[in-house]
């Protein structure tokens, strides 16, 4: 999803809430009191009410957004910013981009999202043929030339080094037979 389609689909707080409710309905809601899965939707309260015990469950309850006072729109914009680029955003930059005054709730939200994204990624393993787009490692090297000029005081420089690797298929994927190295 690009920024234009995001802006067209999630225009206001209500559209974000409705989308979140649709996703929550797909997963199902379980009553914390009686463990029932049958609920009414109370649109004026934006919460679920258990058909068995009449306990209410808010739309955020039991989700990553629980206990957050930030709007659904802020959460959705942050999710978009975190997932739209390879480089990532710092909490401070998200705070600046969204025009928020306080840093602490933004920091907590970003860390909850990163933790959830990490847990999601842990469920998948790489198999078969794997291709890598770009890979960089940061190396730190001491500057020997400066060491000799400044009587033993050396500086360390950091630089990104692109890694390039070539793989050779050792076996035919279809038959499993080993191939001779070329």
Q: Give the separation between CA 27 and CA 34, rounded to whole angstroms.
A: 18
As a whole number, the mean pLDDT across the chain is: 84
**pLDDT per residue over 117-165, tens digit each?**
888 777 777 676 667 667 777 777 765 544 445 555 556 777 877 776 6
pTM, entire model:
0.66
Cβ neighbors of 18 (< 8 A, separation 6 or more) are none
What distance in Å separates the CA atoms of residue 175 and residue 164, rounded to the nearest whole number?
Answer: 29
CA dihedral 73, 79, 80, 82 (to 10 degrees): 140
Report angle CA 113, 118, 120 to the nearest 5 degrees.
95
């Amino acid at each position: 999803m690009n920024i234009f389609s995001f802006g067209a689909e999630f225009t206001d707080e209500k559209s974000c809430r409705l989308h979140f409710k649709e996703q929550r309905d797909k997963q199902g809601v379980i009553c914390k009191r009686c463990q029932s899965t049958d609920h009414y939707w109370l649109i004026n309260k934006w919460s679920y009410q258990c058909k068995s015990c009449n306990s209410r469950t808010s739309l955020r309850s039991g989700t990553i957004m629980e206990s957050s006072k930030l709007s659904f729109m802020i959460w959705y914009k942050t999710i978009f910013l975190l997932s739209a680029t390879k480089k990532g955003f710092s909490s401070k930059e998200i705070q600046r981009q969204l025009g928020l005054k306080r840093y602490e709730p933004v920091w907590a939200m970003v860390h909850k999202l990163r933790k959830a994204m990490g847990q999601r990624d842990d469920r998948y393993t790489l198999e078969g043929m794997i291709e890598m787009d770009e890979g960089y490692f940061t190396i730190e090297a001491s500057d020997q030339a400066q060491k000799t000029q400044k009587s033993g005081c050396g500086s360390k420089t950091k630089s990104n080094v692109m890694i390039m690797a070539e793989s050779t298929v050792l076996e035919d994927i279809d038959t499993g037979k080993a191939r001779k190295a070329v």
